[in-house]
Amino acid sequence: MAVGIGVLGAGTVGGTLIRRLTQEGAAVAAKSGLAFEIRRVAVRTPAKARSFTLPPGVVTDRPWDVVEDPAVELVVEVMGGRDPAFDLVRGALERGKPVVTANKELIAARGPELLEAAARTGVPLLFEAAVGGAIPIIRPLTETLAGERVERVTGIVNGTTNFILTRMADEGTDYGTALAEAQELGYAEADPTADVSGADAASKASILASLAFATWVDPDRVFREGITGISPIDLGFAAELGYAVRLLAIAQRTDGGVSARVHPAMIPLDHPLAAIRGATNAVLIQGPAIGELLFAGPGAGGEPTATAVLGDVIDAARELRSGSQVVPRISFRPGSVVDAAEVPTRWYLRLEVADKPGVLARIAGTFADAGVSIRSVWQEGRGDDATLLMVTHEALEKQQRAAAATLAHLDVVEEVAAAIRVEGETE
């Protein structure tokens, strides 16, 4: 007997999933041993032309029809956003219906409540597609590596920003030009704010940190900085110095607790993530027993994300048909979340300065007063003005910020033109 599926949302991901289940159902059944039937689909505009065809009465503009329909045994939520998605997902779980979602914003913000609801009714809540699209990362963290003491997770988890930074570095184009190209190719939305501000990656960092360290990290506790301030000039200097620049989501174990942050970073060209180009995503997991594990692949778009959703649908359907109560795969324990300001970091800075005696001494003194030591200095240009490129040794993030803020007010410093963190190197 076919498993009855209800789908909340039929946009890029939802539409692709529905098309695959309806047009490729025989192939899915042959591989999974399960047959699926789309019984309800909720959309904003039922009359809109779509890439799939369903029988009359299946499509509705009332999402609760999907949740409450007794013919719907399993709910897929791909509508996005926190509301009304939260109430709908919780409602499905409370009715004993497994839920599969690709909604990273919802899981990051309300994950613990939804996981508790799933545990109470003994049904699965699966969200493999919420972080890396087609990249399997949720199961490895929660199952395969459940016995490993993960120390650090570093990811390129936003294909839009990775595409933009790659184009800027390769072609020397400015941010605006690279963004326009990303939009033309469908990698960026008309309003790219969530991507370029780091908000999208911060939701994913919240989920990765929470699962890797079994301590829930609220997305509001994830420090984030976007890519809008990155210049082709600094991408060029980074390459000359042996680095690539990527927007990284970093979750790590510290002495004080768990830390999560999202920001552009310079990484050595031989670092595993430096080779991740274009709209590709990747997640690097580090631990004492495993060393390093790299998961990479397409992280955005209808087809890759729908593939991960379909995998969860098959997994949830198998558990549903088994008739047994699901043992929660994910649990959390009390723990501390450390502010990013208390985490050791290294910085690259580009300073525009007056080219005269004593300038470097003044700058070095400013770093020393903040408790930051300078690892290396390069000077570009001569005459009345000069450009100084500096890389610091490791110090607390708050010390690095204090040094940069003081430098900006020195009379010999015309501008702190760039400040980018440096990751992936040991002292």
Backbone angles phi, psi at 123, to 5 degrees: -120, 155
Helix (H) / strand (E) element for 195: namely: helix 193-196
Residue 204 known to be catalytic: yes
E strands present in 269-411: 280-287, 291-298, 344-354, 374-380, 385-392, 395-396
Q: Which residue among the candidates 48, 104, 204, 398 is catalytic per the annotation?
A: 204
Q: Is 206 within 8 Å of 108 (Cβ atoms)?
A: yes
The amino acid at residue 236 is G
End-to-end CA distance of the chain: give it in Å, rounded.
60
Helix (H) / strand (E) element for 74: namely: strand 74-77
User: What's the helix, strand, coil split of the chain in %, to 5?
Assistant: 40, 25, 35
Dist CA 241 CA 244 (whole Å): 9
Q: Is 421 within 8 Å of 266 (Cβ atoms)?
A: yes
Dist CA 45 CA 125 (whole Å): 27
- Cα angle 149, 255, 205 (rounded to 5 degrees) comes to 65
Task: Tell me which DSSP letter residue 339 carries.
Answer: -
The amino acid at residue 313 is V
Q: Which residues are catalytic?
A: 204
